[in-house]
Amino acid sequence: MSMVPGGEFSPMIHVNLASTAGGYTVGNVAFFHYILRLAEFDMTLNGDDREALAVLAAVPHAFESEDEYGQLSGRGWRIIPARSEVDWPVLEATPQRLRSAFERARKILWMRAAEFRISAQEMASIEDELEAVDGVILRAEVAGVPVSVSYSA
């Protein structure tokens, strides 16, 4: 269990990125809370930042039902529902759209790190994960294929 914003405890979260060009699993809870769920923090954002964070916030839980989806698509991304009981929903995005969303989240996080009370250790681990994620995105971009993202607890 680990501490999350607001003082709550959370189980281990796994964020899965995959494409036909490769994949990666992030097992860092801080990455989930401070990158994928950054839009949940109370802050004023410009339109582009808000749109970027909405992409990341749309990443579905692997075991969500279709009734639990929020927004189903946007510029450069869409939610693909599970096709069977052995499948799960994923966010599918162009590599460029996903890279832009992660870069904006990183920028916002660095600008507000003190406000969010994120530790230096958490920040360093998030940076390491963002570098690994960027490698997956780069390989997908070179191959010309989309990237799928989901998470599970």
Domain range annotation of the chain: 2-152
Which H helix or E strand runs over 121? Answer: helix 120-143
* Distance of alpha carbon 83 from alpha carbon 107, whole angstroms: 35
| Mean pLDDT, residues 54-76 taken together | 80
pLDDT at 73: 84
> How confident is the model over 128-147, as pLDDT tens digits?
999 999 999 999 999 999 99
The whole-model pTM stands at: 0.86
| Mean pLDDT, residues 37-53 taken together | 91
pLDDT at 72: 83
| pLDDT of 104 higher than 50 | yes
Mean pLDDT of the chain: 88
| pLDDT of 69 higher than 80 | no
| pLDDT of 5 higher than 60 | no
* Distance of alpha carbon 114 from alpha carbon 2, whole angstroms: 19
